[in-house]
Structure 1
């Protein structure tokens, strides 16, 4: 058992409930981060159909063509699966959910210099966890700040309903959806050190800056989780996993959400 897997304080849980997010410091050691770095450096040199499909001949105009995000690496790489189930993260999630967490998705972002950001959005628009919600665990592999494309969150928007997004500005966002913050609410930057984890509610509006740095990647390992009492989730995120690695099959959620049935399946998130 990982000695750091001791859960959260009452103050931390209260902050998450009130603000919709929580920054937890140092949940990954330098050795663990080095392990993650080596794993995704190896992955970056090959194509994994359906998970990572880089253009090795890209001219550099769009850095994300050479370094797209890795989708569901836990499905083909044992190291990624192990860190998706990282004991300190799973312990924190159990406290935030008030019950066991089920791992649903993993992603890795390289985000090299010059990369576009991601427009403001809500995660449970895609995962469709019911009843309950999803929680993201966003791990900084590199320091993340406003210059190299760090995260933005709109505090206290976890209490807002999932909404049908507008079309994002393709010049600034590599994804197509944009959720406008409610009146009087503004996004704020989250500055993170390597090894920090930002937990946030599936309804919280969040996104990221463009990487404006000259030579700094903003690598991150991002996973999404559902509460163990959930019955349904979008089909793209099945199967789910308990902390011990055993599979859990929730029902497929066919709900099209606030945009209608044409939005019922979003494998691109």
Structure 2
């Protein structure tokens, strides 16, 4: 059978495309090399908890049309992302805001916090940052860099901050208010019942094949449809003929803790 569209990847982008194309009467096939739909936003029920299998995802937007669109499939909760960083047994609020600065230095006014940051930024003496470490210090000073940036960044990239290019962090958001909300968008939340339910609704009536590796038999799949929407790694699509792109790394460890909350 010839399809109008073959969509490679049953994640959020691929599923939105499939839903909208089906509404327009197009013949669509969605394939995914994993054994489930949802891509990286896949959630599964573990002990009545919706676990984000590939790391936490919070939906956020300032666009009411986008918010109304996703809510037309499933209901979203009112989750607000207010993360805490644990550094040597002490907790610090993220993103960097007045709560963070109070926890670091005991300052209580924006003027005191700004003065502390400006004093620590002088360490570079107006030198052009040559790596990520120097870039971070030039933006927010050494205390914030050492406690809240260095370890996290080195875990993600798998190398020392001195060996990472400065351009990775062009800016670091600093807020001089007591507000722990990570995002500033008007609309934010997580689907009640998990993201998998959202994707299931989007793919209703769409032909979906799982455990199908597009890149293992690309020639065959390219013949299946007039147009291909590919959502996988772009370097792999071209056989890494220009080399492999570097990606930040994530390692997932799961603990089940017997507690009421």
With the length of structure 1 as denominator, give the TM-score of the two structures: 0.22
Structure with the largest fraction of strand = 1
Question: Is the helix fraction higher in 1 or 2?
Answer: 2
Larger radius of gyration: 2
Q: Which has the higher contact order (CA 8 A, sep 6+)?
A: 2
TM-score by length of 2: 0.22
